[in-house]
Amino acid sequence: MPRPIVATIHLESMQHNLARARQCTPHAKAWGVVKANGYGHGLERAMRGFAAADGLALIEFDNAVRLRELGWSKPIMLLEGFFDASDLHTMAQYDLNGAVHCEQQLAWLEAATLPRKLNLHLKMNTGMNRLGFKPEAFAAAHARLRALDCVGEITMMTHFANADELAHPGLPIREQIRRFELGAAGLPGARSLSNSAGVLQASELADVLANDWVRPGIMLYGGTPGGKSAADFGLLPTMTLASEIIGIQDIEAGDMVGYGSRFQADGPMRVGVVACGYADGYPRHAPLGTPVLVDGVRTRLVGRVSMDMLTVDLTPIPQARVGSAVTLWGKGMPIDEVAEAAGTIGYELMCALAPRVRVVEG
């Protein structure tokens, strides 16, 4: 028998979440973001789950090529663009779109001779201050691209820093939109502004937000970028990490549990040992009280997460036994709730799923 931990990927939930993104932005085309191995779900599963997307977006060249080899014929976009002049020939060979966000990339394009035109996304830095041309430099970069024989369509793009908090005191989304409109004024081409947070706030921004393409990511996998819960946004979990109780200890008041003896019992209690640890992708830093489901009943993590095991309080589940079902996150246990308790985000938990965990579809 295999070790009982298993991650179940729910393809129907992936399809539902993509449809939800389309409901939010009915006039825009949608890139399904599948970077980081489909947020830990597997690239091939993400391709099938988002088969209805207008294109797939990621950052890894090898996975972009793999998508073509798997039969994806619609557009593919490299969100960070290309990293060397030689990458341009790979983009041309496999018909890959790419972001252009810096002077060096422009120079590589200006020196290139390619067998086909590349469709590109010119990125504007509207305050995120990671990648992109400042608004005042954007028109000049656009003109340089437009002058090149190797460039086809140019889509204008930016990335929102705080779309989950419309009135963010440091950088509200409307200010980023204002900067984008200023930098892109008079320039031809489609526009791609909204990440998951922007998509989910689209109705609140209908007066100022014009998307020809949107780039939903975490929402497609049933997580929320913030603001409200995934369920509140009408999203379904796409990954359920489940295991079983493999041992039970009856302890007394004063007894301690786990490495470092961090948890001390106040009175008699039963402690369940779960076949899941940080080597499976569960966060080692998850604190006392992190929620867990045992036989469908909510309980809490006790003691420090170890490499292969974690321990839970079975007091609320007197019927629990060796073999009882445990849900670490997913259906019945929102991944964002687990992540918040652990001081991280659902993205990290999904992406951290370890190779040793058996993955099935269901």
Binding residues for substrate: 130, 307
Helices (H) and strands (E) in the chain, counts: 11, 18
Q: Among this protein's residues, is 117 annotated catalytic? A: no
Give me the phi and psi of 153, to 5 degrees please.
Answer: -75, 145
Q: Among this protein's residues, is 347 annotated catalytic? A: no
How far is Cα 49 from Cα 221, in angstroms, rounded to an integer? Answer: 10
CA 328 to chain centre: 18
Note whether 189 and 156 are within 8 A (CB).
yes
How far is Cα 289 from Cα 79, in angstroms, rounded to an integer? Answer: 38
How far is Cα 321 from Cα 343, in angstroms, rounded to an integer? Answer: 30
CA distances from 292 to 149, 215, 288, 324, 347 (A): 57, 32, 11, 13, 18
Label residue 267 left, alpha or beta by phi (over 0 means left) and psi (-120 to 50 means alpha).
beta
Q: Which of 29, 74, 259, 347 is catalytic?
A: 259
How far is Cα 76 from Cα 68, in angstroms, rounded to an integer? Answer: 9
Note whether 272 and 327 are within 8 A (CB).
no
Q: Which of 35, 123, 221, 331 is catalytic?
A: 35
Catalytic sites, residue numbers: 35, 259
